[in-house]
Amino acid sequence: MLGRRCRLPAILLLALVWLAAAGSAAAQDVPRLPDEVTDGAELLDGREDEVRDALAAVRDRVQLFVLTTGTTGGIPITDFADEVAASNSLGGDDALLVVAIDDRAYALWVANALPGVSDADIAAINRDVIEPRLAEGDFAGAAIDAAAALAQATADEPGPAGEPPPVPPSRTDPVPEPDDTSATGRVSRTPWVLAAVVIAFLAAAGWSRVQQRRGRRRNAEERDRRLGELARLANARLVASDEAVREAATELGFAEAQFHADDVAPLREALAQARTQLHDAFERRQRLDDDVPETPEQRQAMLQEIVALTERIDRTLAAEYARLADLRKLEERAPRLLDELAVALTAATTRRDGADELHAELVVSPTAVQATRGNLVEADKRLQAARRELDVGASALQEQDRSGAARAARGAQVELAAATELVAAVERAAAEVDEARRGIDDALVAAASAVDRAAAALPGAPTPADGPTDAPGAPAASPPAPPPPPSPASLLDEARFLLAEARSFRETDIVRGYELASSAQAAANQAEALVRAAHERRERDLAAATAALQSARAVHDRAADYLATRREGVGREARTRLQEAERHLEVAIAALEGDPASAAAHARTAEQLANEAYRLAQRDFDQYDQFRGPFGRGPFGGRGGSTIVIGGFPIPLGGSGRRGGGWGGSAWGSPGGGRSFGGGFGGGGFGGGRSGGGGFGGGRSGGGRF
């Protein structure tokens, strides 16, 4: 019998644990608060640090915890806040703000021990601080402002002096005598306590394992996403570069057997450089493979270095392979190329002989002479070197040395190209002298005409291209501003100076004079173009300002006519807007000719103010008209009573109107169907806490959805 009695609590305990575990699987998990900000729904939009700073600033008065979640799983928001506070052992000077975005609901929980925060304070903070922010979607701002409001409430410390802080309610039930029945009750509660402990332990262990697995999976996925492709690329390029270096060593042996040592030397140097770079790349790969772990950032940097080294190896070897391919092609066509170069040498020599006469014509321009000084002497040296290379190539062909013939042909090509360019420079200088001799007079006339046109357009010209200026006190931009464009006046001065210089060089340096005349014409044309552009811009601004002024006048006249015919029912705001509109109109009219852009801005402002005045006047008169009697005899149908209008509402001052009737159903009377606005916040709590909240965004409804 005793054994069965001992086994019964154990069986009941196991059944209780199973039932509690099954029930907890379907219940909504109560979130844990690892720190003051738990953004489970990701609503703070990267402003977590800003919220944490705001909470830290008031921590000496109140420690506010912020929790965002998707849903409470059907649990009322205030009950959910109580459960979160209880699960996380909040109390003392703690407070908790919970926002459930999918439910469009929130709750503010405040511990009873927090001094100075009453239920009325919680309701005011919900209504005036939290709800407006949440309705705007500013979740971080709601948390920041709630922390400041709670700190202010604790600083105010309302309540009579000496009032004791709230304490948890005491039990009023009589304490049972310690008899056998109470002992049995205590024994019967033991399985429940043990079950709760076991459930909590298993839940915590399971949650920890789930979080660890999730964390490892996320880290592995992130590493693979960020480094996987880079690692595969680096490994493939490393193997390919190793093969390329080995093939280059083989190619070097072939090249040494085929070409002259001077032709092979660049390939030997490139191969040595590639081997050094390959060693560096493999050294980094070895460091990645050893037992010393690297951070993900270090691994990424080392993989990128491997890729960069292998790319340099590829470029170096590819350039040498291309050079060797050109050498092989040159060897194949060396006999024919030498014949072609002999013909080209004859033509270049003839061209050089004709350049003596052209060079003699350059004496009229010291500028041209200086640019070609020594060209013909150097061309003679290059032609002589080309002849020697051709002789060497011919001898190499007789000895069946195609490699030597190819080198000689390449040398002759270089010398012929240099000689040809030196002679061509003399020919170009002679052509410039001939062009200047034929065109300088016309250029001087054209430049003088352009200067005269620019000078005629300049007087009274508007300022060109004035950009928008910064407002006073505005911070300067960090990058330096580009230099301002030249003004028409400075360009005109430059054109006049260049024209005078061109005339002075007319006889002494015809090429220089021709260049200066062209520059003078260009400067004068630019000055004239700037003046014309400024005139055109001013005309456009003037047309825009005129149109804006006409529109503003029409809107102003409409508002002024409306107010003049209904002035007894129009209040202060509409009159103020209309007066401001008139002031801006006057400023726009005064600035129209001198500053069209400013006039247009004032006209647009006047139009906005006039529209606002018209809207306010309509609102005031509509409200005023509702209080007038059916025959317009005063606001209440009386006769002879005087009234004033304040903000569109008529206020009776007394008089001899009919008595009686009372205020009836007005907003001020006592009897009558007046309106009232109310609302509240959810109550409840645990262990000395209280919470208030509701769906946000419904104005003064006390709760709802947004």
More confident residue, 371 or 477: 371
Nearest to 268 by CA among 225, 329, 316: 316
DSSP state of 549: H
Report how far residue 494's alpha carbon sits from residue 520's, in angstroms, rounded to the nearest whole number. 7
pLDDT one-digit tens code per residue, 372-391: 888 888 999 999 999 999 99
- The confidence score (pLDDT) of residue 403 equals 82
pLDDT at residue 1 greater than cutoff 90: no
pLDDT at residue 638 greater than cutoff 80: no
Tell me which H or E stretch contains 646: strand 642-646
Sign of the alpha-carbon torsion through 630, 631, 632, 635: negative
pLDDT one-digit tens code per residue, 58-87: 999 999 999 999 999 889 999 899 999 999
- The confidence score (pLDDT) of residue 422 equals 93
Of the candidate ranges 432-436, 455-459, 663-667, 685-689, the one whose mean pLDDT is the lowest: 663-667
pLDDT band at 281 (very low <50, low <70, confident <90, very high): very high
Cβ contact 117:89 at 8 Å: no
Query: Which residues on adjacent β-strands are paired with residue 652?
Result: 643
Report how far residue 351's alpha carbon sits from residue 421's, in angstroms, rounded to the nearest whole number. 11
Report how far residue 345's alpha carbon sits from residue 226's, in angstroms, rounded to the nearest whole number. 62
- Strand, helix or coil for residue 213: helix
Report how far residue 646's alpha carbon sits from residue 649's, in angstroms, rounded to the nearest whole number. 5
Nearest to 557 by CA among 513, 596, 512, 607: 607
Among 171-175, 227-231, 477-481, 675-679, the range with the most confident prediction by mean pLDDT is 227-231
The single-letter code of the amino acid at 654 is G
Of the candidate ranges 400-404, 620-624, 690-694, the one whose mean pLDDT is the lowest: 690-694
More confident residue, 477 or 362: 362
Q: Which residues contact 90 (CB under 8 A, 6 or more apart)?
A: 65, 84, 96, 109, 111, 689
pLDDT at residue 338 greater than cutoff 80: yes
- The confidence score (pLDDT) of residue 175 equals 37
Neighbours of 646 (CB within 10 A): 10
pLDDT one-digit tens code per residue, 458-490: 875 554 444 433 433 444 445 565 667 788 888
Q: What is the pTM of this model?
A: 0.41
DSSP state of 679: -
- Residue 534: both structure tokens together: 């400024």
As a whole number, mean pLDDT of residues 431-455 equals 90
Cβ contact 303:288 at 8 Å: yes
pLDDT one-digit tens code per residue, 534-582: 888 888 989 999 999 999 999 999 999 998 999 888 999 999 999 999 9
- The confidence score (pLDDT) of residue 177 equals 41
More confident residue, 538 or 503: 503
Q: Which residues contact 202 (CB under 8 A, 6 or more apart)?
A: 21
Mean pLDDT (the chain, rounded):
77
- The confidence score (pLDDT) of residue 225 equals 59
Cβ contact 77:99 at 8 Å: no
Of the candidate ranges 12-26, 34-48, 103-117, 169-183, the one whose mean pLDDT is the lowest: 169-183
Determine the distance from the C-alpha atom of residue 424 to the mean position of all C-alpha atoms in its chain, rounded to a whole number: 55
Nearest to 317 by CA among 377, 364, 250, 370: 250
Cβ contact 574:560 at 8 Å: no
Sign of the alpha-carbon torsion through 82, 84, 88, 91: negative
Percent share of the chain, pLDDT over 90: 36
